[in-house]
Amino acid sequence: MDTQDGTQQSQQLVLAHNVFLLKHPDVSDIEKVRLSDEVLNSVQSNDMTSYYETLVTDKVLELDQSLLESMRAKNEEEIKKLDEKIADAEENLGESEVREAHLAKSLYYIRIGEKEKALEQLKVTESKTVAVGQKMDLVFYTLQISLFYMDFDLISKSIDKAKNLFEGGGDWERKNRLKVYEGLYCMSTRNFKKAANLFLDSISTFTTYELFPYDTFIFYTVLTSIISLDRVSLKQKVVDAPEILTVIGKIPHLSEFLNSLYDCQYKSFFLAFSGLTEQIKLDRYLHPHFRFYMREVRTVVYSQFLESYKSVTIEAMAKAFGVTVEFIDMELSRFIAAGKLHCKIDKVAGVLETNRPDAKNALYQATIKQGDFLLNRIQKLSRVIDL
């Protein structure tokens, strides 16, 4: 995708985020006017004819027929030039120059947002490519255009392809970059635990600025780690991590969110959490999982609080979190019913009693359940065989 240098985010991914915000109901009308101008300027500067037509159809932008025709004419002219360069390279130059000419055409299709043509041209370029590193770069281009269109099926296939390529070689820099791409894919598909592990592995080697700035990377790392790691791992890998400590203060509410959870300052945690909700809601990758993430974080913090007690009054818990007794009662009832919290509410006495399951007993119950399931399957199979 198009980047000015190695430390700037792809213009196309910036555009995709701005379009997401334009469609978001919680963004103010004044902000949408500014975003609309930015989106139009980006589309116009990159001559994104097909994408412009899509935005017009989706009523994100208004149709300007003269602009549309102008961009289409520029596309046709540029593609003609690129085809001439390919023909010249094939007739007069070597294999390396032929590959570069095909790559230039691939990158142009990516730049103008022609997904299918870009993917087709990348395949042609790959057929002219021998080096594993260069083939990996083509996979990264495919991943970027997939992220632009949020095509998760293509992202998954591209990640698998990259891993297969690495089996035949590949440098550490590209392998580390792939971890961030895979982490972003996992986070976007609600696999927060795997995303956290991949992000944490990439903290000291992060170079994928084309996806997002380092601050955003740390934001994602902390959010996924909080609901994925146990308390000891969170302390070692996140709370005390020097790479995170140097950046976390720049991100509003994030430091308070992380440290108040670890320090058991639950009132401060809820305040920081409410400050972060807007950032999560307006994030293109996290937005679809907003409600799920909110539930998971509350499960973590309630579980941590209850871990210290055999029984505790609802009033004491409400006071610790800075909320009403009615709110805590309603919250815990939902989480207990969903099997997220191991406790029960004595409403008459106003007390919460924890009933953490014994690990051995839980394993025994699971084994019995699986054994019954297996016996049922064998019985069904035996009836079929008898027939």
Query: What is the Cα gyration radius of the chain?
Result: 26
In a domain, 111, yes or no: yes
Q: Give the chain's domain count.
A: 2
In a domain, 235, yes or no: no
Q: Where is the domain boundary, 78, 100, 130?
A: 130
In a domain, 232, yes or no: no
In a domain, 82, yes or no: yes
User: What whole-number distance in Å separates Cα of residue 62 and Cα of residue 40?
Assistant: 10
User: Quick one: pLDDT at residue 308?
Assistant: 78
User: What whole-number distance in Å separates Cα of residue 12 and Cα of residue 257?
Assistant: 31
* Global pTM value: 0.84
Q: Where is the domain boundary, 89, 108, 130?
A: 130
In a domain, 90, yes or no: yes
pLDDT confidence tier of residue 170, bands split at 50, 70 and 90? low
pLDDT confidence tier of residue 309, bands split at 50, 70 and 90? confident
Contact (CB, 8 A) for 217 and 204: no
User: Quick one: pLDDT at residue 3?
Assistant: 41
Q: Where is the domain boundary, 73, 95, 130?
A: 130
Which of 53, 45, 85, 92 lies closest to 69 in space, CA to CA?
53
Beta bridge partner(s), residue 354: 343
Q: Which amino acid is at 380?
A: K
In a domain, 320, yes or no: yes
Q: At what angle do helices 290-307 and 214-226 cross, to 10 degrees?
A: 50
Over residues 172-231, the pLDDT tens digits come to 888 889 999 999 999 999 999 999 999 999 998 898 999 999 999 999 999 999 999 888
Q: Which amino acid is at 238?
A: V
Residue given tokens 């696999």 in the structure block: 191
Q: Which domain holds residue 328?
A: 313-386
In a domain, 178, yes or no: no
Residue 209 neighbours by CB under 8 Å, 6+ apart: 3, 6, 7, 8, 9
CA triplet 9, 10, 15: central angle to 5 degrees? 105
